Each structure stands twice: as structure tokens, then as C-alpha cells.
Amino acid sequence: MIQLTLQEVAEATSGRLVLGDNGASASTVVRGESQTDSREVTAGNIFFARHGEETDGHLFAGKAVDLGAALLVVEREVDDRVPQIVVADATIALGALATEVVRRVREAGDLTIVGITGSNGKTTTKNLVAAMAERVGTTVASAKSFNNEVGGPLTMLRLEENTRTLVAEMGASAAGEIQRLTSMAPPQIGVVLTVGLAHAGGFGGINSTFEAKSEMVQDLPETAVAVLNRDDGYVGRMAELTRARVRWFGLHPEADVRATDIDADANGTRFTLHADGASLPVSFKVLGEHHVTNALASATVGLELGLTLSQVVEVLEGATRAARWRMEVMGGRDGITIINDAYNASPDSMSAGLKTLAQIKKPTGRTVAVLGAMSELGEYTIEEHLRIALLAVRLRISELVVVGAEARHLHISAINEGSWDGECVFFESRDDAFDYLESSLRPDDTVLVKSSNAAGLNLLGDRLGEAFA
């Protein structure tokens, strides 16, 4: 974080400064990272004691001080060993401090903010864009999938005086959340990838999802750039909602940055990248043809940041995986390939994963889909799980292994299709599924492990990857 005094932090958060017993004064400077999880605190950090869904951060303030926290932002006084700033709401204070830090860095330097949203592909695109931005100068990008009212500000607070680019994932599970993040860090480049049924339970349907995702571009000024997916009809409509210059990406022939000659296999995807009248071949090692969309979005941003097309291709070809637990290729023993794609799942990404599995099947092996539940679909939950089961049957996936009670509809629907005889099995627990797979997988099998994060199948994928390493 940039250098701020305790008094300046108090003013930014509209809080009351309470000096501790360590001799600090209002002019004492803090510049450590901010944390909301006491387990992540290191010396010099600021700890925000939030009321979480399951616990109260104030209960862990003492632990944060023990680990070296230099300042506590609290809703009630808790520990007088270090200074405290007492605020009405610690989460709101976190956002307010992030807003002030972004403002100061923008005014003092040459900061470009890239905001990325979409129902699928945010983290993959963010990682690729960050790699592009590093070619320009010092870059701060969202860690993990830090894209909500907590993760977003924590990322923004990592800005330093010399930061050239902030690459911020901006997710939402309800209307207004993206607008809140863009008000903290107004993008000069706003990216919208897709509009799908991810988090549909919170939004209330696809049209509400469209309205929420369009918050990314609605407030962009005329000097900004809206980077939009030409292949997604809902994203395409956003061009009418923004004052910004629109830059299209996609497979559509009218896209400004597009791909042709796509050829995907177990080693990645090859395609020809076209932009601004030039074309270059790309060997993209990230598994799954659907990730070409993310590559095109990041390429568009890279070009807007000033990279040449050759530099953009270098970055794309240097990427070895989308992100941790996203189409991550593991295994290898006896020709068995484990694809761990279980960090998150929506109907669109689940469909894309199954299609990739069918596409990269080895001639002498089987395809095995290990699937868990897709979360946050609301009224669409049963319908979408049934649809995925039907797709697995139609793609002639060799075996479907369904894990967890929340995903039982997948199992029932696959059986009801009548196309299989014992090729779909169900397990309540990850451990039971692992035991079955460890004993039943055959040489040259290709295995996709896919679920929402809440189902925890990413851990099953890791175990399988280790077992067949």
C-alpha cells in the first residue's frame, strides 16, 4: 500500500482514531498490506475486523496483533496494544480506504485500471492480462479470485506509487456489486466476457444477469474502452449502453480481434490471431477450445496497453494453464490424464469442459467425467443439472461419476436417458469416489473433474493427479 499516516487512514474511512500503547501518534505512517483474515496477517499489516457470514473478525483481532498487525480497523475497541480506528462498518471502511488509495495513485502517476467481468473466464483472462501488463510496467492484479466487496478492495490496497496497471476482477452475485467496485477503481478499460447463468440464483435470471454485468460499461467515460465479446448476444447489446469506444473480440468475422483456424487437442489449442490488419499463428497451451475467447479478450487489452501483436502472442504462448484448478492437466502414469477443473462451475463452463473432454479423447482410452454440483443457480438448479447429464450422454462420455448429494439429479437424469448400462455411478463422498476411481481407471483414460468450488472436488482432482502422477 502507499504511505499513509494513521490520521489519513482515519479520515479516509470516516473513523475515530484511538492510539494504542505502542507510542504511535496520528502522524505515524503505515504502508503494509490490508487483511481481513487474521491467519494471513504479517508484520506491519492493517487488519480489518469484519463481521463475516460465519464469524466475527473482532474475535481474532488479538491474534492479528500477535502476528504483527500495526493497525486495527474495528467497529468496537478490542485491543489497545496497537492503534485502532473505530468505524461504523469495517467492510464499508475497507472500500473507502481502497477508493482513496486508488485516487491518490491515479493523481500522482500514470495508472491504467483494467476491470474484467463476465459469467465465465474472469480469472483466466485476468491472469493473461496481468502478464501482458507486466510488459508495460509494475502491475497489481487480483489474487486468486478476489473479485467481490472484500477481495476487490484488498487488491486495490496493494497499489504502490509506481504501479502502472491495476488488473481487477469484478464479480457479482447481485445487482449493484460491479458498480460498487467500479466506483472504487474506475476502469479505463472495461472487459465483459460472457453473460450466462452463473450466480443466476442471486440475480434472478439471465436478463437480470445482463443488467448486472452491464454495470461494467455503463459509467465508462468517452475516453475509456469497452472490450466486448462479439460472439455473445447479451454482451453485444452492451455497446448501446456505453459512451466508451467499443473494441470487439471473438470468432465473429466483424470482431476487431478474432481467431480463425482453431485446432484443439490434449496439448492445447492452436489458432490464427487477427488484429488491426495483421495475423500471427498462436500455440496456446491452455487446454480447452473455450479458452480461446479469454485469449482474445486479453489480446485486445494487451493491444490497448500498447503491446505489439508479436508481444501479445509471446504472452499467450507463455501461458501453461488457465489458473490453479482450471483445466489443470495432471497425472500421466499409464497414459492416464487428469484434468482438474473443479474451482468453479456454471452451466456454460460445465458444457465447455465436457465438450473438451470428448474432443481430446485418446483412441485407446475412455472419457470419464467426475462431476459435482453447480452452485447458485436458484430456480434453474434442477433444470441445468438435468441438461448437463443429457449433454454427457449425447457426447458419448464413457463413464459419469457423480459426487455429492447436491448433484444427485445429474446421476438420475443420466440413468433415465436409458443410453447407458452401469456407466453412471454415484457417491456421497469424495473419499468413496477416489477409492472407486483409483481402482477402476484404465490406461489412456482421460478424466475431467468438474464442479463448483463449494463441492470441493478440486481436492479430489488433486488426489487423483498425485495418485496417477
Most confident range, picked from 172-181, 214-223, 264-273: 214-223
Give the pLDDT of residue 351: 93
At 271, the pLDDT band (50, 70, 90 cuts) reads: very high
Q: What percent of the chain has pLDDT over 90?
A: 74
pLDDT of 422 strictly over 80 = no
Per-residue pLDDT tens for 361-379?
999 999 999 999 988 788 8
At 51, the pLDDT band (50, 70, 90 cuts) reads: confident
Phi/psi of residue 104, nearest 5 degrees: -65, -40
Find out whether 187 and 223 touch, Cβ atoms under 8 Å: no
Is 38 annotated as belonging to a binding site?
A: no
pLDDT of 201 strictly over 70 = no
Maximum Cα interatomic distance, the chain, rounded to a whole number of Å: 75
Q: What's the rounded Cα separation, in Å, for the pair 222 and 212?
A: 21
Report the candidate in 90, 76, 101, 98 with the shortest Cα–Cα distance to residue 18: 76
Per-residue pLDDT tens for 305-349?
999 999 999 999 999 765 667 788 888 899 999 999 988 888 888
Question: What sign results for the dihedral spanned by CA atoms 392, 397, 401, 403?
Answer: negative
H or E segment to which residue 301 belongs:
helix 291-304
Per-residue pLDDT tens for 384-421?
899 999 999 899 999 999 999 999 988 988 888 765 56
Domains of the chain listed by start with CATH number: 4-92 (3.40.1390.10), 109-318 (3.40.1190.10), 328-467 (3.90.190.20)
Pairwise pLDDT comparison (21 vs 418), residue with the higher score: 21
Is 429 annotated as belonging to a binding site?
A: no
At 295, the pLDDT band (50, 70, 90 cuts) reads: very high
Is 121 annotated as belonging to a binding site?
A: yes
DSSP codes of every residue in 118-165: -SS-HHHHHHHHHHHHHTTS-EEE--TT--STTHHHHHHTT--TT--E
Report the candidate in 111, 137, 118, 116 with the shortest Cα–Cα distance to residue 128: 116
C-alpha 290 chain-centroid distance: 15
Give the pLDDT of residue 199: 52
Report the candidate in 202, 199, 101 with the shortest Cα–Cα distance to residue 159: 101
Give the pLDDT of residue 200: 53
Per-residue pLDDT tens for 144-185?
767 889 999 999 999 999 999 999 999 877 789 999 999 999
Give the pLDDT of residue 457: 94
Is 126 annotated as belonging to a binding site?
A: no
Mean pLDDT across the stretch 36-44? 95
Is 120 annotated as belonging to a binding site?
A: yes
pLDDT of 203 strictly over 70 = no
Report the candidate in 175, 173, 128, 125 with the shortest Cα–Cα distance to residue 151: 173
Is 124 annotated as belonging to a binding site?
A: yes
Is 123 annotated as belonging to a binding site?
A: yes
Find out whether 227 and 122 touch, Cβ atoms under 8 Å: no
